[in-house]
A and B are shown apart, each in its own frame.
Chain A
Amino acid sequence: MAASTIPLERTRRLRLPFNPWHLVLIPATIVLIFPFAWLLITSVETSSEALRFPPILLPHHLDFGNYPAALDAAPFTRFFINSTVVAVSTVVCNLVLCSAAGYAFARFRFLGGGLMFALIMATLMVPFQVTMIPQYIITKWIGVNVLAGAGINHIGSLILPNAATAFGVFFLRQFFRTLPIEYEEAARVDGASRLTVLWRVVLPLSGPALSTLAALTFLDSWNNFLWPLIAINQTNQMTVPLGLATFQGAHSTEWTLLMAGNVMSLIPMMVIFFAAQRYFIRSVAATGLAGT
């Protein structure tokens, strides 16, 4: 900041061979990256190297033994499969259910539509803590009386309550209303059903909105912790964050093992995030711009 207040003529004389902002950005980047780097370094140390003070900044040789050891201690592959199933199913359900409902709220006038929409909107501001206890009771009841697969201690209980969200319905309704209605009317005149219009005309025009909703839903689902913590206590049904927390509880001082487990649990999300970085960034930015 100080550099920018120096009068113009002096900056000319002090010209650096590179942009001075690098002097700010390089240390900032080191601070941002350091936790990741330290995590990786610890994960390839032997436990005697990790428990040494002063710490060893670079291990003499890489010991990858912590990874198979962590896999033996906790089923990380299982956690990863569970998280993937939950996140993908949640995204698909949201895209289908929210676009159908959002489209009806955007374009149809029907009895009770206003009331239903108002009820859904009322839930937008409510924090999860308010609904979580009844959600637990309802989920338990469903598991016993309706469908065991959607009950407590089954990953279905992580999908069903989030299969459609008020945010998704609202977000898509707002988007659908910005589309020109003429295409839809033309298709109707040609005899297309409402469902065909949604599927063949509206959704193909909604790529950006659908990918935004997909990206946000995926991140939310993958990182969700409080609800899985309440709903699941059986190891083979745990998602990655819950499995990692349980693993930490059981091995709280075995740092090399913990960090190897931690690396394995964050790599899949990192890969997905960077592969689709543009979508994720645009989606997060969109929530900010929509909110302003």
Chain B
Amino acid sequence: MKMADQLTAWGFITPGVAVILLFGVAPIVWSAVMSLQRNNLFSPNTPFVGLANYRQMVHDPIVAQAIEHTVVYTALFVPGTMLVGLFLAVAMNRKIRFINVYRTAAYATMAISTISEALVFIWLFDPSYGIVNYLFSKVGIAQQPFLNSPSQALYVIVIMTIWGWTGFAVVIYLAALQGIPKTLTEAAAIDGAGRWATFRRITLPLLSPASLFLVVWLTINALQLFDEVYLSTQGGPLNSTTVLVYYLYQQAFGGANFNFGYASAIAYFLFLVIIVVTALQFRVGRRLVHYRS
């Protein structure tokens, strides 16, 4: 290839690639290095300490709690969002009156930021004046402390985030449902399959690529939960909503520590978890997912 063409090619890629190298590639290496250093505001230099930061994680009780909360949150949020999304998408996959109103109501949850969403929900779930406690009192349930309770706060966060992701899940499932040819479900009906059997044996398998995508995508996002925790509970009460990313943020920027070494180690641990979980999901998914040829 001619020299001029080489230069043209590099001219095309340089601006974009420079940004990605500087803010995407270099930081990956840099934070790996930092995770092996003692690096905080109080140490004048940054000596290498081997795997000390990772060892510290093993002995840090808050890390153990944060992992537990992250796992519990993910295990509830991912299936919850998928079930709500699937149910609504199936209900909305028909041409009936007002269908655009129904769909728009679901889509609207996509336009609201995590911060706005969390702010509305802490008001809905306010222990003293919240409407949810009022509705509870109507049906004879005692008033609940919700976000003020170490045993309930995480579940309130699960509910608010499922609401916030409903629109996304509906869009994905609705698009997949609309890609299923009517001839397939009609053929099943002619063969005498009931509606439930058709759904179980035809629709659900044909939706499995969309389901796999949602499992992977929602899990990656769930493992990185931060915004709602920051706004509603700040990890409390009694660390009951401290998830990995919130703890990492606290270590790096929350107090006055600027504990960059330790925070980088936690970040790398999270990265490893995401890679392993995603790989496992794809591996299991490959056996369960039906791709139409």
Chain A residues in the interface with B (C-beta under 8 A) = 1, 4-5, 7, 18-19, 21-22, 24-25, 28-29, 32-33, 35-36, 38-39, 42, 50-55, 97-98, 100-101, 103-105, 108-113, 116, 119-120, 122-123, 125-138, 160-166, 168-169, 194, 198, 219, 222-223, 225-226, 229-230, 240-242, 244-245, 248, 255, 258-259, 262, 265-266, 269-270, 272-274, 277, 280-281, 284-285, 288-289, 291-292
Contact = CB atoms under 8 A, between A and B. Distances in A.
Contact of A5 (B28, B110, B195): B195
Interface residues of B, number: 103
Nearest to B198: A4
Cβ-closest 6 pairs across A and B: A134-B27, A292-B209, A97-B16, A101-B16, A273-B111, A104-B12
Contact of A281 (B16, B171, B268): B171
A120 B20 contact: yes
Interface residues of chain A: helix, strand, loop or mixed (majority)? helix
Given A33-B108, A134-B27, A280-B110, 8 more contacts: A32-B109, A35-B117, A125-B278, A129-B271, A130-B268, A133-B263, A241-B114, A241-B227
A127 B72 CA distance: 20
A120 B22 CA distance: 11
Interface residues of chain B: helix, strand, loop or mixed (majority)? helix
Contact of A110 (B9, B113, B179): B9
B129 A50 contact: yes
B105 A32 contact: yes
A139 to B, nearest CB: 8
Contacts of B130: 55
B110 A284 contact: yes
Interface stretch (B53-61, B74-82, B89-97, B149-157): B89-97
B278 A119 contact: no
B38 to A, nearest CB: 14
B111 A138 contact: no
B180 interface: no
B63 to A, nearest CB: 14
B17 interface: yes
Contacts of B166: 32
Contacts of B131: 38, 55
